[in-house]
Structure 1
Amino acid sequence: MSLMYTVLCADVLAADDLIRNDKVQAIIGPLTSAEAEYIAYLGNRTLTPILSLAPVSAALAPSLTPFFLHTAPIASSQAKLIAAILDMFKWRTASLIYEDSTYGAGITPELVYILQGYNTRVTDSLALPIDATESYLDTLLYHLKENSTRVFIVHMLPDLAARVFHRASVANMMSDGYVWIATAGIGSAVDSLGPDRFHDMQGVVTFRPYVPATDRVMNFTVRFKERFLLENSGIRDVPNPSVPLLWAYDTAWSLAAAINKYSVSSSTPGTGRTLLGAVLNTTFDGLAGRFRLVNGQLQLSTYEVVNIIGKSARTVGFWTPESGIFKNLKATNEKGIKQILWPGDLAIAPSGWSMSSTGRPLRIAVPSRLGFNQLVEVSYSLRTNTSFVTGYCIDVFDALVKNLPYPVAYQYVPSTIYSSYEELLSLVFEKKADVMVGDTTISMSRMNKVAFTMPFTDTGLSMIVVLKKDSSGSMWIFLQPLTSTLWITSLAFFFLTGFVVWAIEHRINPEFHGTPWQQFGIIFYFAFSTLVFSHKEKLESNLSRFVVIVWVFVVLILTSSYTASLTSMLTVQRLQPTVTSVQDLLRNGDRVGYQNGSIVKYWLEEMGFHKKDLLGYVEVEEYAEALQRGSGNGGVSAIVDEVPYLKIFLSKYCEGYTMVGPTYKLGGFGFAFPIGSPMAHDVSQAIMTPAVQQEMAWIERKWFGDPGACESKSGGINSFRLSFSNFGGLFLITGMTSGLALLISLSIFVYQERDKLRAALSRTRSMSLQRLHTWLERLGSTEHTKSTINHQEADRRV
């Protein structure tokens, strides 16, 4: 390759001078990230292709620097591999330690984004200066050791990584329970590490691009060592060429192949663009694998997962974007990974986190609150000078911990005096406490400080009001036992039954004769006389008798149910809620009560209540007293609070009070952990298990009583109303009976009158509507009835 076209360059100033003065057409290099960014934009301005192996980030987008070709895989391509490893071992938190450079920061955005899809969180993201001192590294590692997360992702170049692992070994962080995952910047150079560096990295899992051990690679390795010993006679142990060295060889080869294949010369017009296109179109099997550039970046499909054990790195698996992690290249369907020896020579994968950095029991902060002791109560023993915690929240937490997949040692640390919940949450945020257990409402502002479990109580905000006598609407209360749909359906079936009986009887029964208006009155009267079973008409046809029998049965059930519902309403309707919605309170300017120290006051102010109309209370008894006094006598018209508190109130004051209005969504109660604590996720999963749900229901009944007892006592009128769904089956039966009887009656009529109908219709040679009218006149005729009567008279004379 002629130097007129390409120069191997490792210095920014040299590259700038070569491009400006010597007019080179391509540059391979430089080797550092910072220099690569400068030269990338320099090449873009001068139309000079830059082939770089520097481990730069994805920030150098091909659209911005089209003349910058990255012939080594970008760091962010490993993000999915790291996420797959963490997900395989169910590690939900990790700390990222990266080099404070363009290369180091390049993986962070992509890794955090991808981990979110795997429900995994990066709890710490720490950038290390390249020239960090041992004291600085010790301080940083001590900070990480104090946290509960034990999974560390290291993304940096080998020199800095070796110093980090050495100080971690001194800090006893390369021992049992710790997990260290190193990116390919370390894995690619692992074969060239010295024995002392291997000693500090025992149990580390790292990655490196997969390079097939072909004959070409073997021959190159032999020639490389021979050449190296020839030029460095004082060195005996020559390491195998690293993967970056193979990429460098393939990079130079690609440029030479492009020049030879496309006959690029310095006299070619637009040499820079021509050479760039030639390199992009060059594809071959190189030492490091298939060389192919897409959008100016080397495409790499397979990574090796290696485990550093002893004095070597052992391959434990492979990864591709299509197949994920698998054990053997020849069997990509064999998912999983081979046995890994973790730090401390552990064959079992660590849990990835520690409840306490010192091994002590978890410190659980418990509020010493005033009022609502069913939720949390702290009691003291003067004799033993000890404190005890009880309550619904305590029992639920104990039940959840028992159902975790690992043992947990903990102790409750109740506050000695009443303090705000924000102060206790600050203890968790500052990691002076490991958990906060109590009636802690989940809110957006609090979620910025701590990690909550999913709610373990009803989530919502409602209100309690007084029940009072209410006679409004009593004049029309007789209509309320049935819904409007049921009233309309019942009326429709009254008329249907009357019509069916008339249609069957009017030809053979003289009691159903008369003028059209008289016959309509018979239909109406007969149908509604069945309501009180006072129908006097004698029925001649068995079909009509069958219809009436079924209908009377339906009427009997309908009237009995109506009577029972109306009786209940006349008894219960005397007690009705004084207020039914928050809008009523706002419209009337009523005073509203809330619990002191809760977020309900803020919510009420947002709804439009004035501060002067909001009164705070602490005890359940204060709620009842304020409601009894009422808004006009120094009390309140309603108490607005979260549903668990209102349940406690109703368990003690069921008679005379009720919960009304819509339930506004709030966060509910949750247990608070430090942000990044995996235990928050595990406790949330335990809440969803059926066994825990049953136990939590039993705990709720223990502290709050039967949740439906009070509602059954104070149910309103709506709870006694009957709807169409209650009688749908009866209406279906009577409808089918009436329809079938009418169909049979018409069939008998047509059969008996077939000759007369045929003669009458034959005399009518007009339109079809007139023929239909003739047919209906015959159907409505009472001639058959008169003939029957004449025969009866003749029989009597004889």
Structure 2
Amino acid sequence: MDWETFTIVYEKHENLVYLQEVLQNAYEDESEIKPGHPPIIVRQLPPDTMDFRPLLKEIKNASESHILLDCAVDKIVTILKQAQEVNLMGNYQNYILTNLNAHTIDFGDFNPGEANITAVRMINPNSPTIRSIMNGWIYEGNEQGKALTVKAETVKIESALMYDAVYLYATALTALGESKPLPSKLSCENPSSWQHGLGIGNLVKSISAEGMTGKIKLDSLSGRRNSFSLEFVEWMSSKWKVLGTWSTSFGLNHSRTVEQMDKEYKEKIENRTFVVITKLVEPYLTLDKKTDTLLGYSRDLIDMIAQEYNFTYVLKLEPDNKLGNLNSVTGKWDGLIGSLQEQKADLAICDLTITSERRNAVDFTMPFMTLGISILYRKPQKESPDLFSFLEPLSFDVWVYMATAYLSVSLLLFFLARCTPYEWESQHPCDSEPEELENVLNLVNCLWFSLGSVLAQGCDILPKAVSTRLVAGMWWFFTLIMISSYTANLAAFLTTTRMNPPIKNVDELAKAAGIKYGCLEAGSTRNFFKNSNVSLYQRMNSAMESARPSVFVKTNKEGVDRVLREKGKYAFFMESTSIEYEVAKDCNLMQVGGLLDSKGYGIAMPFNSPHRAIVSGAVLKFQESGRLRDLKIKHWRPANQLQKCEVDGEEADNPELGIDNVGGVFVVLIAGCGVAFLFSLLEFLWNVRKVAVEEKISPYEAFMLELKFAISCHGTSKPVRRKCSEPSMKEANSFANLELFSSKLNINNGNN
């Protein structure tokens, strides 16, 4: 029967004598006794009254569903009728009638309802022996002119045992008479013992016979009956049906197979209406305001079970919308668990975690979903790239080293160019004997050459000596490696958005400063931290309890809203399945770390519910067929939300550079152009001053003259402005040539 607790209701104290074995077996293993749930409660029927309602009400208030009734057969129907009056004959009540005459009860117009009533009997009304004996009795009555209407179902155990005793003695006497002559008459007044008495006694112990109570066989030493069998019968469809048998030889034997019992149970619950209690929580159950209907995972799951077993159900919402908490003072539960304990509902289905504490109050099916506690956290916001993010591929130290190398190489090139004779050349290549040599690798040109190499733009000025070319070659090799490395890193830095959360697991969360964490103020997650023996979780529990303002919330929705609202300053401990749903619904959320524990959601029902086996079987069937997985995908991944997050992911895989990524380059360009314009302005003003001095005009006139020419935007040549007395370069060259010609002419005349 697998009863963990039950109540014995007895009539007389002597009844407890033969029930002592039951009491002893129940208390054999004290470790299995649940706190607050003694395995057996013993109650006596009130004597001298037929009103048993007060006692039955006490049993109902104790939420006891299993009753072992040991009383006279004529009181059984009265007790059951009064139990029905106090609502103790429902689907969850089970009665075992120990009276061996219980099979003779005539319930009449009384309908026990949905209660399970089991009895024990020694008489099998359908056995051939019983039928033969009944026919013999009827025949004898007819021979004597008495019309007997005897039914095997109404034969009491006392009559059957008396018949078997007489039948066994008669069988022994007949066997003795076949071996020895017996006197035809005996006097009961003769005090002397019968000479065959001892022989008959031994013969009774040695023979066996088939009587009304089955096979009759006595022990050869004690003379007690050592072979008998019992039938366990259940009242179903207005008649007793055999559940199984127990015999001294073979023990307990079920008469029906598991398939037969399942079939009978399915027939029993067909078209029956179950009361299913639940609570509103996404995605398990939500209210569609347009159609005023309840939708969600829980609704679909109970639909599947109802279709499997062909029953109907009524969905009720828990008024407080609570799973259930145990009141340590009253010892009673509230919420869904309390409703099940009071048998206001047949099933409870939602995000109800199977815990040992709840398991002591109600029954659970096998888990339909496995999960654990994890951390819900807001995704870090996408960081806008720094204005000068193009500098990030190389560290600050590397930039400093590169600038140092640039200056060092430029100075080295300048020094070597001055030292080597091969960098000094004539200003006029046609002059084979120049008076002056020129070196183009001055300091400015060396800096320009090195800069052009770094920027891969080249330069018109190139070294000629071996030493300077060697320095230039090594500098080109250096810039090749540095530019390649910079370019490779630049692509990654410009296209990758840094979104690393400040915490990666529960250990980092416990150590993180400035991040608060919390959970539901009541429930399995809260109890996990309260009852944990792990030092880390104990410290976290103390931190949560002492936090002000409170970090606890009443609902998961409040916790999710707080995570989003506080933008990285709050983390919420939540069951992983709920986190999966919230993350799929809002792409700004994420799960941090793994699972802190492992548990499961189950369908709850009143303690020792008869529906547990079939509902668990349905859950197992759906799990093996993959229907539970498909159901979870349906509700956990809404198409619109999944598509939105996938688009975000595609954008991350194929990023487009925005102005934030390359804005710094524009700043450098604008700043460089601005500096160039500033230098150009200074050069222009300096030239204006020079022209004003040389042309002996006012600065304003010179300014306007130069400005008009600059903004005319045509012509590529410009006249040189100088003092009036100063000859032009062309004239100077002409005079020089004329003097040279004259001198040569005079020399020739002298020679002549």
Shorter-chain TM range is 0.3 to 0.5
Please report the TM-score for the alignment, with normalisation by the length of structure 1: 0.43
Please report the TM-score for the alignment, with normalisation by the length of structure 2: 0.45
